[in-house]
Amino acid sequence: MSNTPPTPPVHEAAKRRDWPAYFDRMEGKPARDTVLKALKSFGEIDPSNPPLAIDLGCGAGRDAAAMLAAGWKVWAQDGSADGISRAKERPEIKSALQTGRIEIAQSNFQGLQIPKATLVNASFSLPFCPPDHFSALWQQIDAAIEPGGRFSGQIFGDRDDWAIIDDRTHLTRGETLKLFDQYILESFTEEDRPSKHTDEHHKHWHVFHIVAQKRTAPKRGSVS
């Protein structure tokens, strides 16, 4: 019998913000369901005039690659230099860099300026924005999404075990829904469950998985 201790689950790397270890463990994983749903909702893209999709906290590029494959132009960013260099090595991203169909850069959420776009995606990345910068980041996201455009991604809930970590942003269900007051929720799933780990790696997950379309006119009764 081997005495090698079992490898800790991948969420332990995310908890410590050990992004190279996280990307190692996630290598080969397909694009997230939320971004795939959002891309599908737009239907066929006019290849002569592709719309812009943004990937915030793109990591090693799994969602950005799917955006390119669906025919979109892409603007992607991440705070991790390691993530950006892995993303740039993906064949779809490598060739799109040569044709200028993707811009991908290392930058932090803090102080980020986001260009106008038809889709803004943030898969499992917004919880890592420090709480005192989240409101400015969300204002940027909301202002970037054009009417009829979509948001896809995750917000972590207040019952998640990581909600006690100082530099994380966790919102209640009510606070999360308020972000989307001027959106139509096309998919809103609340995951609120213990992990399957019964040892020290146990984690209670509380995650909102969201695909939402920005209204083309303000909702009745809303105050601007």
Ligand X SMILES: C[S@@+](CC[C@H](N)C(=O)[O-])C[C@H]1O[C@@H](n2cnc3c(N)ncnc32)[C@H](O)[C@@H]1O
Binding site for ligand X (CB under 6 A): 14, 19, 22, 26, 32, 57-59, 62, 78-80, 83, 108-109, 123-125, 128-129
**Position 15: which residue type?**
K
Question: Cβ 209 to ligand X, closest distance in Å?
Answer: 12
Nearer to ligand X, 37 or 216 (CB): 37
Nearer to ligand X, 45 or 112 (CB): 112
Question: Cβ 221 to ligand X, closest distance in Å?
Answer: 35
Question: Cβ 97 to ligand X, closest distance in Å?
Answer: 18
Burial of 40 per CB tally in 10 Å (0-12, 13-18, 19+): exposed
Distance of CA 146 to the CA centre of its chain: 18
Question: Cβ 134 to ligand X, closest distance in Å?
Answer: 10
DSSP structure class, residue 28: T
Query: What is the SS3 string spanning 50-102?
Result: CCEEEEECCCCCHHHHHHHHCCCEEEEEECCHHHHHHHHCCHHHHHHHHHCCE
How far apart, in whole angstroms, are the C-alpha atoms of residue 217 and residue 147?
8
Nearer to ligand X, 124 or 180 (CB): 124
